[in-house]
Structure 1
Amino acid sequence: MTQPSMPVLESVTRPWPDLEAAHERATGAAAALLDGRAALLAALTRLATCAGARDELLRSLRTVAGAPWELARTGVPQLSRVSVVLPQDTALSSYVRHCLVPALYCDEVVVRPTPRIRETALEVHRIVSRGLDPALAARIRFTDAGQHDFAPVCAESDAVVFTGSAAAGGKLMTEIGDGPLFLLSGPAPNPLVVGPRAEPDAACRAVLRARLYNSGQHRLCPDVLFVHRLRLDALVERLRAELSVLTVGARSWPDAVLTALTYGEAVEGAARFLAEHADRVVAGGGADPERMQVEPSLLVFDEDPGFHPPALSGPLFCVVPYEDPEMLRCWARHPLELERGMYAAVLGEPRLTGRTLGTAVVLRDATPFDTEDGNLPCGGYGAHASGVRREGRMVGRPLLLSQEAALRNTVTTGPLR
């Protein structure tokens, strides 16, 4: 009888999270979110619309409730330290997914929020931690270190979760070396395709819900709408009509669809894009940097597989017509789109077969907001949009920290990088 290899012995004997304790702590965390919901909504509406804040709270509750199932399914080992750079668009759901759930299986979670979200993220942590098991709350530690000073902390971590641009993520990876597991989540265009069989009213509702989530300030919002010519006129007219009657107000207003944008760079970027493409604007087109307002704007471009918009923030609807779905495949095969492929929402286009469009995961008759689940791998196969470092290079695939940490210590192969 052959002797088992050392990696297998190390894998079998490594410590595992206590699932019973994780269940109790997750239940307590859900109660903490519910008990602090009024204070959480007040904090979240510093950045999000009231509707967006409520949705974020409910999604966070679902993630906390699913955490014990996630740990049991992935078989994640107990980790010593995880370092997290939080994104700027979701204070609570990113805190829950990247900090609170990992604290169930990590001895220490060190958190560096980006400066734009820091005050809100700290307030969220204060509200939630008051109701947590003290041992669980003590595992989450915020730091005010700059990125340069944060690098040594990351270098001594089991894993690093970074949300931001690929350039900034690559710089941090270089600084910390090849030791830690590194997960990168970056911006993506998330195209939405309205095919010839899409029902115009339903397609219009899906487009509005997806693009106007938190006034268009979310990484899952579609930056480009590919519309079949058979549906082009109908969709454009419906969008033009709907955009003219949207409720504009303060973030705390329950019925406000559009509010002032949160960051000056977002308004300036939208203003530049509108100015560069002024001849394509068919509705809206205004931006007021002083009031942080961007008018809901509809732009219609020519059929062109070379249209690759930058990451857009705000209520901008960029429509590109098409007839042959091969044009969409050509667009998706561009090197830039292969790097940043995340999701492609496809409505009523049966000719787009397969699970992916380029490196973007195809969602049929659904948007990313309908499908993302905090306890499951999220994203696509573009390494700059959702990438994990393996053997010194970035590999694009849907990501979940607990699953990647478990794969790094797989029973059959032992520790991996």
Structure 2
Amino acid sequence: MTKSLAPIDFAEVRQRAQAFADTLAENHGLIVKSLSEYQCANVALDEIERSVELLTNLHLNQEYFQAKVHGVTTFLPLNQPLYASVCFGVVPSLMAEDTAMRPPTVMHPHYRKLAEILDLPSFFPNLTVSYQDKEEYLVARARRTDAVVFTGTPENAVKVRRAFLKKTLFILNGAGHNPLVVTENADLDRAVDSALRVVLYNQGQDCAAPNAILVHRSRIDVFRAALIRALDELAPRVGPYSDPANIVGPNSDPDHAAKIARVFRDEREHFVYGGETNPVTGMIHPTVFERDLTKGGNYEEFFAPVFYIQPYESDDALKDYFTDERYRQNAMYISLFGDSPYIKSLVDTPLHEPDSVLRDTDLHLTEKGYLPYGGQGPAASCLYTNGERVLGATLPQRDIHRHLVAPHLEGAC
């Protein structure tokens, strides 16, 4: 950026954000209906609540709204279409002259219905939703972009980064392991409630879903029984999106049910509960596997409502999971229930900062759109500035200001 940057009137920003927040709250029924063929009603309502919370609390990020960059380009994720749009499209548009965001192709028909309700141009005329082919979108945006917000795999991120200039700020939101650790003195009711919340949310299609639930052997029987009892009680709420009472619906990619059936077959030795898949409807029922940690940790993301329980013998045995290189790549958050000297020892190491070890809670209760989100693992979150990778949690408004606006303002002084 060589041209001067236009200053931001934060009072005007806050007014527009609040007006859009009010519209979201007023039209919550229509928003839920517009997404009723894509996700469960409880997820849409949660997205509305999170979006309103972010928009009404932008004053907590006021320091980042000083001047506008010229262009921001966003690639939305498969999940949370509304909340992701607000975090990665709407908010950046308030600090840019030209912003565009593209939902994944499979989401296009559903997003068009959502966009009709949102009426984004009325609130954010500089924000465009693109339904172009990805390659066309890249070509159209490559030379007019100062910052990219990308959600997806590191492999796809590499391909997308190549289309932009090296000086372009590239913000990557990937996927984390996010294990739950249930220790000897854990509050089991709280731990089970947390596991249900993070695994079942959006059918497990969420980066906060844990790849492993590590449970101390002395508590495994009670934990397993409580989890299965809770899943039995929730079974009537598993079904099509059309029923607003359901909290687990079909996978957003119908073909994924066939893929996960093959995974379930390979894991059948460790099967405990559930296991039903329907490749016609895309339905994957909540499923529990149990494999002792001594047989190897699970680092694979199921993208499905899968509880992968891993009993461990002692606090020292947790090292087997967290020192594996496969963990390091996607290190994000740990939800710790009870006490663990080993988990505490991971704080302020290359794996974890204090904010990424959650005590007796989980990401769904602590995540806020005005706070950084992510981890130290390069596949979990990072950004690239002038070709250099910076590890850590991301926050688009902070990162755009810190790496693009602040240096420009300092250079102009």
Task: Report if TM-score (shorter chain) is over 0.5.
Answer: yes
Q: Is the 8 Å Cα contact of residues 293 and 321 (structure 2) preserved in structure 1?
A: no
Q: Which residue of 1 aligns with 2:191?
A: 203
Q: Is the 8 Å Cα contact of residues 54 and 369 (structure 2) preserved in structure 1?
A: yes
- Specify the SS of the correspondent of 1:410: helix
Q: Which residue of 1 aligns with 2:45?
A: 54
Q: Which residue of 2 aligns with 1:410?
A: 406
Q: Which residue of 1 aligns with 2:87?
A: 97
Q: Is the 8 Å Cα contact of residues 289 and 308 (structure 2) preserved in structure 1?
A: yes
Q: Which residue of 1 aligns with 2:133?
A: 146
| Residue 310 of structure 1, aligned match among 286, 295, 300 | 300
Deviation of 1:281 (Å): 0.4
| Residue 185 of structure 1, aligned match among 130, 149, 173 | 173
Q: Is the 8 Å Cα contact of residues 293 and 320 (structure 2) preserved in structure 1?
A: no
- Is the alpha carbon distance of 1:272 and 1:205 closer, same or farther for their aligned partners in structure 2, counting shifts above 3 Å? same
Q: Is the 8 Å Cα contact of residues 254 and 281 (structure 2) preserved in structure 1?
A: no
Whole-Å separation in 2 of the counterparts to 1:159 and 1:391: 11
| Residue 358 of structure 2, aligned match among 346, 360, 363 | 363
Q: Which residue of 1 aligns with 2:26?
A: 35
Higher helix share: 2
CA RMSD of aligned residues (A): 2.4
Give the % identical residues.
Answer: 24
| Residue 163 of structure 2, aligned match among 170, 175, 182 | 175
Shifted more, 141-150 versus 53-62: the winner is 141-150
- Specify the SS of the correspondent of 1:27: helix
Deviation of 1:413 (Å): 9.4
2:406 maps to amino acid: T
Q: Deviations over 1:144-172 (max 9, x none)?
A: 33222222313430100111111000111
Whole-Å separation in 1 of the counterparts to 2:54 and 2:216: 36
Whole-Å separation in 1 of the counterparts to 2:285 and 2:399: 41
Whole-Å separation in 1 of the counterparts to 2:228 and 2:126: 50
Whole-Å separation in 2 of the counterparts to 1:404 and 1:30: 23
- Specify the SS of the correspondent of 1:205: helix
Deviation of 1:236 (Å): 0.7
Q: Which residue of 2 aligns with 1:66?
A: 57
The number of residues matched between the two structures is 402
State whether structure 2 residue 212 is matched by structure 1 residue 221: no
- Specify the SS of the correspondent of 1:298: strand
State whether structure 2 residue 327 is matched by structure 1 residue 332: no
Q: Which residue of 2 aligns with 1:109?
A: 99
2:310 maps to amino acid: V
Shifted more, 263-272 versus 75-84: the winner is 263-272
Deviation of 1:33 (Å): 0.9
- Specify the SS of the correspondent of 2:22: helix
1:21 maps to amino acid: E
Deviation of 1:228 (Å): 0.8
* Structure 2: gaps (5+ residues): none
Shifted more, 231-240 versus 326-335: the winner is 326-335
Deviation of 1:412 (Å): 9.8
Whole-Å separation in 2 of the counterparts to 1:356 and 1:205: 28
Q: Is the 8 Å Cα contact of residues 305 and 331 (structure 1) preserved in structure 2?
A: no
Q: Is the 8 Å Cα contact of residues 22 and 68 (structure 1) preserved in structure 2?
A: no
Normalised by the length of structure 2, the TM-score is 0.90
Deviation of 1:177 (Å): 3.2
